[in-house]
Amino acid sequence: DIQMTQSPSTLSASVGDRVSITCRASQSISTWLAWYQQKPGKAPKILIYKASSLESGVPSRFSGSGSGTEFTLTISGLQPDDFATYYCQQYDDYPYTFGQGTKLEIK
Amino acid sequence: QVQLLQSGAEVKSPGASVKVSCKASGYTFTVHYIHWVRQAPGQGPEWMGWINPNTGGTNYAQKFEDRVTMTRDSSITTAYMELSRLRSDDTALYYCARDQDAYDPYFDYWGQGSLVTVSS
Protein backbone atom coordinates (compact mmCIF):
# COMPACT_ATOMS: atom_id res chain seq x y z
CA ASP A 1 0.00 0.00 0.00
CA ILE A 2 1.13 3.58 -0.64
CA GLN A 3 1.70 5.42 2.64
CA MET A 4 0.79 9.11 2.79
CA THR A 5 2.56 11.16 5.45
CA GLN A 6 1.40 14.68 6.26
CA SER A 7 3.28 17.35 8.17
CA PRO A 8 2.78 19.03 10.46
CA SER A 9 0.09 17.16 12.41
CA THR A 10 -1.07 20.42 13.97
CA LEU A 11 -0.58 23.95 12.74
CA SER A 12 -1.38 27.12 14.69
CA ALA A 13 -1.96 30.26 12.66
CA SER A 14 -3.81 33.56 12.64
CA VAL A 15 -6.40 35.04 10.32
CA GLY A 16 -4.60 36.52 7.33
CA ASP A 17 -1.58 34.21 7.55
CA ARG A 18 -0.21 32.16 4.67
CA VAL A 19 0.23 28.49 5.62
CA SER A 20 1.46 25.36 3.89
CA ILE A 21 0.85 21.67 4.56
CA THR A 22 3.09 18.97 3.12
CA CYS A 23 2.11 15.47 2.03
CA ARG A 24 4.67 12.82 1.09
CA ALA A 25 3.91 9.58 -0.71
CA SER A 26 5.92 6.41 -0.11
CA GLN A 27 6.25 5.97 -3.89
CA SER A 28 5.60 8.09 -6.93
CA ILE A 29 1.94 8.85 -7.57
CA SER A 30 2.49 11.28 -10.47
CA THR A 31 -0.15 13.97 -9.79
CA TRP A 32 -2.96 11.68 -8.65
CA LEU A 33 -3.46 13.52 -5.39
CA ALA A 34 -6.44 15.24 -3.81
CA TRP A 35 -6.77 17.55 -0.82
CA TYR A 36 -9.88 17.60 1.37
CA GLN A 37 -11.05 19.85 4.18
CA GLN A 38 -13.04 18.35 7.04
CA LYS A 39 -14.89 20.11 9.84
CA PRO A 40 -16.12 18.34 13.00
CA GLY A 41 -19.15 16.14 12.36
CA LYS A 42 -19.05 16.75 8.60
CA ALA A 43 -17.91 14.78 5.58
CA PRO A 44 -14.66 15.74 3.86
CA LYS A 45 -14.96 18.39 1.15
CA ILE A 46 -12.82 18.36 -1.98
CA LEU A 47 -10.52 21.36 -2.42
CA ILE A 48 -7.83 20.34 -4.90
CA TYR A 49 -7.61 17.43 -7.34
CA LYS A 50 -4.85 16.19 -9.62
CA ALA A 51 -2.38 17.88 -7.24
CA SER A 52 -3.01 21.44 -8.40
CA SER A 53 -6.49 21.78 -9.92
CA LEU A 54 -8.93 23.87 -7.89
CA GLU A 55 -12.39 22.33 -7.53
CA SER A 56 -15.19 24.54 -8.79
CA GLY A 57 -16.51 26.83 -6.07
CA VAL A 58 -13.43 26.60 -3.87
CA PRO A 59 -11.86 29.98 -3.03
CA SER A 60 -8.71 30.86 -4.95
CA ARG A 61 -6.74 31.32 -1.71
CA PHE A 62 -6.35 27.52 -1.77
CA SER A 63 -3.66 26.16 -4.07
CA GLY A 64 -1.83 22.87 -4.54
CA SER A 65 1.50 21.94 -6.02
CA GLY A 66 3.84 19.01 -6.43
CA SER A 67 4.27 15.76 -8.29
CA GLY A 68 5.86 12.38 -7.75
CA THR A 69 6.21 11.98 -4.00
CA GLU A 70 6.01 15.49 -2.53
CA PHE A 71 2.99 17.75 -2.49
CA THR A 72 1.95 20.99 -0.82
CA LEU A 73 -1.37 22.61 0.01
CA THR A 74 -1.09 26.37 0.53
CA ILE A 75 -3.73 28.68 1.95
CA SER A 76 -3.00 32.35 1.30
CA GLY A 77 -4.76 34.76 3.61
CA LEU A 78 -6.41 32.49 6.18
CA GLN A 79 -10.08 33.13 6.83
CA PRO A 80 -11.98 32.11 10.00
CA ASP A 81 -13.81 29.42 8.01
CA ASP A 82 -10.50 27.73 7.10
CA PHE A 83 -9.77 26.39 10.58
CA ALA A 84 -10.38 22.68 10.08
CA THR A 85 -8.55 19.41 9.45
CA TYR A 86 -6.97 18.78 6.05
CA TYR A 87 -6.28 15.41 4.44
CA CYS A 88 -4.36 14.42 1.35
CA GLN A 89 -5.38 11.30 -0.58
CA GLN A 90 -3.66 9.39 -3.36
CA TYR A 91 -5.74 7.81 -6.10
CA ASP A 92 -2.92 6.49 -8.22
CA ASP A 93 -3.17 2.90 -7.02
CA TYR A 94 -5.44 0.65 -4.96
CA PRO A 95 -6.06 0.77 -2.13
CA TYR A 96 -6.58 4.51 -2.21
CA THR A 97 -4.97 5.93 0.92
CA PHE A 98 -5.24 9.11 2.98
CA GLY A 99 -2.79 11.00 5.11
CA GLN A 100 -3.32 11.11 8.86
CA GLY A 101 -4.49 14.73 8.71
CA THR A 102 -3.30 18.21 9.64
CA LYS A 103 -5.38 20.15 12.14
CA LEU A 104 -5.26 23.89 11.49
CA GLU A 105 -5.92 25.78 14.72
CA ILE A 106 -6.38 29.42 15.56
CA LYS A 107 -3.29 30.88 17.28
CA GLN B 1 -28.17 19.24 -7.04
CA VAL B 2 -26.15 16.10 -6.35
CA GLN B 3 -27.03 14.47 -3.05
CA LEU B 4 -25.99 11.25 -1.35
CA LEU B 5 -28.30 10.46 1.55
CA GLN B 6 -27.21 7.71 3.90
CA SER B 7 -29.12 5.56 6.37
CA GLY B 8 -29.08 6.24 10.07
CA ALA B 9 -26.90 5.19 12.96
CA GLU B 10 -26.66 1.53 13.93
CA VAL B 11 -25.56 -0.26 17.08
CA LYS B 12 -24.43 -3.82 16.57
CA SER B 13 -23.02 -6.62 18.67
CA PRO B 14 -19.62 -8.17 17.89
CA GLY B 15 -19.96 -10.85 15.23
CA ALA B 16 -23.08 -9.31 13.69
CA SER B 17 -23.45 -7.69 10.25
CA VAL B 18 -24.46 -4.17 9.27
CA LYS B 19 -25.85 -2.87 5.99
CA VAL B 20 -25.59 0.84 5.20
CA SER B 21 -27.48 2.45 2.33
CA CYS B 22 -26.63 5.47 0.16
CA LYS B 23 -29.45 7.04 -1.88
CA ALA B 24 -28.17 9.09 -4.82
CA SER B 25 -30.06 11.92 -6.50
CA GLY B 26 -29.41 14.86 -8.79
CA TYR B 27 -27.32 13.01 -11.38
CA THR B 28 -27.34 9.87 -13.55
CA PHE B 29 -26.67 7.11 -11.03
CA THR B 30 -25.01 4.69 -13.44
CA VAL B 31 -22.33 7.12 -14.63
CA HIS B 32 -20.27 7.54 -11.46
CA TYR B 33 -18.72 4.86 -9.26
CA ILE B 34 -19.73 4.88 -5.59
CA HIS B 35 -16.92 4.44 -3.08
CA TRP B 36 -17.16 3.60 0.60
CA VAL B 37 -14.80 5.24 3.08
CA ARG B 38 -14.79 4.83 6.82
CA GLN B 39 -13.36 7.01 9.56
CA ALA B 40 -12.75 5.74 13.07
CA PRO B 41 -12.94 8.28 15.91
CA GLY B 42 -9.97 10.67 15.75
CA GLN B 43 -8.46 8.90 12.73
CA GLY B 44 -7.98 9.67 9.06
CA PRO B 45 -10.33 8.27 6.43
CA GLU B 46 -9.86 4.70 5.17
CA TRP B 47 -10.96 3.57 1.71
CA MET B 48 -12.94 0.32 1.61
CA GLY B 49 -13.77 -0.13 -2.06
CA TRP B 50 -16.07 0.86 -4.90
CA ILE B 51 -19.04 -0.37 -6.84
CA ASN B 52 -19.80 0.40 -10.46
CA PRO B 53 -23.53 1.17 -10.40
CA ASN B 54 -23.82 0.40 -14.11
CA THR B 55 -22.50 -3.15 -14.06
CA GLY B 56 -22.49 -4.03 -10.37
CA GLY B 57 -18.77 -4.71 -10.58
CA THR B 58 -16.79 -4.14 -7.40
CA ASN B 59 -13.25 -3.59 -6.19
CA TYR B 60 -12.56 -4.08 -2.50
CA ALA B 61 -9.54 -3.14 -0.41
CA GLN B 62 -7.73 -6.33 0.51
CA LYS B 63 -8.19 -5.54 4.20
CA PHE B 64 -11.99 -5.90 3.86
CA GLU B 65 -12.24 -8.39 1.01
CA ASP B 66 -13.51 -11.29 3.11
CA ARG B 67 -16.06 -9.25 5.09
CA VAL B 68 -17.50 -6.57 2.81
CA THR B 69 -20.16 -6.75 0.11
CA MET B 70 -21.14 -3.74 -2.00
CA THR B 71 -24.34 -3.89 -4.01
CA ARG B 72 -26.71 -1.51 -5.72
CA ASP B 73 -30.32 -1.24 -6.78
CA SER B 74 -30.33 1.00 -9.85
CA SER B 75 -34.15 1.14 -9.90
CA ILE B 76 -34.03 3.23 -6.72
CA THR B 77 -30.55 4.75 -7.27
CA THR B 78 -29.26 3.29 -4.04
CA ALA B 79 -25.92 1.70 -3.18
CA TYR B 80 -25.35 -0.55 -0.19
CA MET B 81 -22.35 -1.60 1.87
CA GLU B 82 -22.62 -4.65 4.11
CA LEU B 83 -19.87 -5.47 6.59
CA SER B 84 -19.98 -8.81 8.38
CA ARG B 85 -18.31 -10.34 11.43
CA LEU B 86 -18.16 -6.96 13.12
CA ARG B 87 -15.49 -6.21 15.71
CA SER B 88 -15.13 -3.34 18.14
CA ASP B 89 -12.54 -1.70 15.90
CA ASP B 90 -15.16 -1.45 13.13
CA THR B 91 -16.79 1.34 15.15
CA ALA B 92 -16.61 4.28 12.77
CA LEU B 93 -18.44 6.75 10.58
CA TYR B 94 -19.08 5.12 7.20
CA TYR B 95 -19.32 7.41 4.19
CA CYS B 96 -20.34 6.83 0.62
CA ALA B 97 -18.71 9.12 -1.94
CA ARG B 98 -19.07 9.60 -5.66
CA ASP B 99 -16.05 9.75 -7.90
CA GLN B 100 -15.84 12.54 -10.43
CA ASP B 101 -15.17 10.23 -13.39
CA ALA B 102 -13.14 7.22 -14.44
CA TYR B 103 -10.24 9.36 -15.67
CA ASP B 104 -9.88 11.49 -12.54
CA PRO B 105 -11.61 9.53 -9.78
CA TYR B 106 -11.31 11.90 -6.86
CA PHE B 107 -14.36 12.13 -4.57
CA ASP B 108 -16.45 15.15 -5.48
CA TYR B 109 -19.58 14.45 -3.42
CA TRP B 110 -19.95 12.67 -0.10
CA GLY B 111 -22.84 11.39 1.94
CA GLN B 112 -23.39 12.71 5.43
CA GLY B 113 -22.01 9.57 7.06
CA SER B 114 -23.58 6.68 8.97
CA LEU B 115 -22.29 5.95 12.46
CA VAL B 116 -21.83 2.26 13.18
CA THR B 117 -21.10 1.37 16.79
CA VAL B 118 -20.00 -2.15 17.65
CA SER B 119 -20.44 -2.90 21.31
CA SER B 120 -21.40 -5.79 23.51
Instruction: With beta carbons under 8 A apart, name residues in chain B contacting A99.
Output: 44
Per residue in A28-50, pLDDT (tens digit) is 999 999 999 999 999 999 999 99
% of chain B residues with pLDDT over 90: 97
pLDDT computed for residue B101 by the predictor: 87
Residue A101 near chain B (CB below 8 Å): yes
Closest to A6 (Cα-Cα) out of A100, A107, A105: A100
Q: Report chain B's mean pLDDT, rounded to a whole number.
A: 97
Question: CA of A79 to nearest chain B CA: how many angstroms apart?
Answer: 23
CB spacing of B59 vs A87 below 8 angstroms? no
Q: Which residue has the higher pLDDT, A19 or B102?
A: A19
pLDDT computed for residue A55 by the predictor: 97
CB spacing of A95 vs B63 below 8 angstroms? yes
pLDDT computed for residue B102 by the predictor: 83
SS3 for chain A, per residue?
Answer: CCCEEEECCEEEECCCCEEEEEEEECCCCCCCEEEEEECCCCCCEEEEECCCEECCCCCCCEEEEEECCEEEEEEECCCHHHCCEEEEEECCCCCCEECCCEEEEEC
Per residue in B10-63, pLDDT (tens digit) is 999 999 999 999 999 999 999 999 999 999 999 999 999 999 999 999 999 999
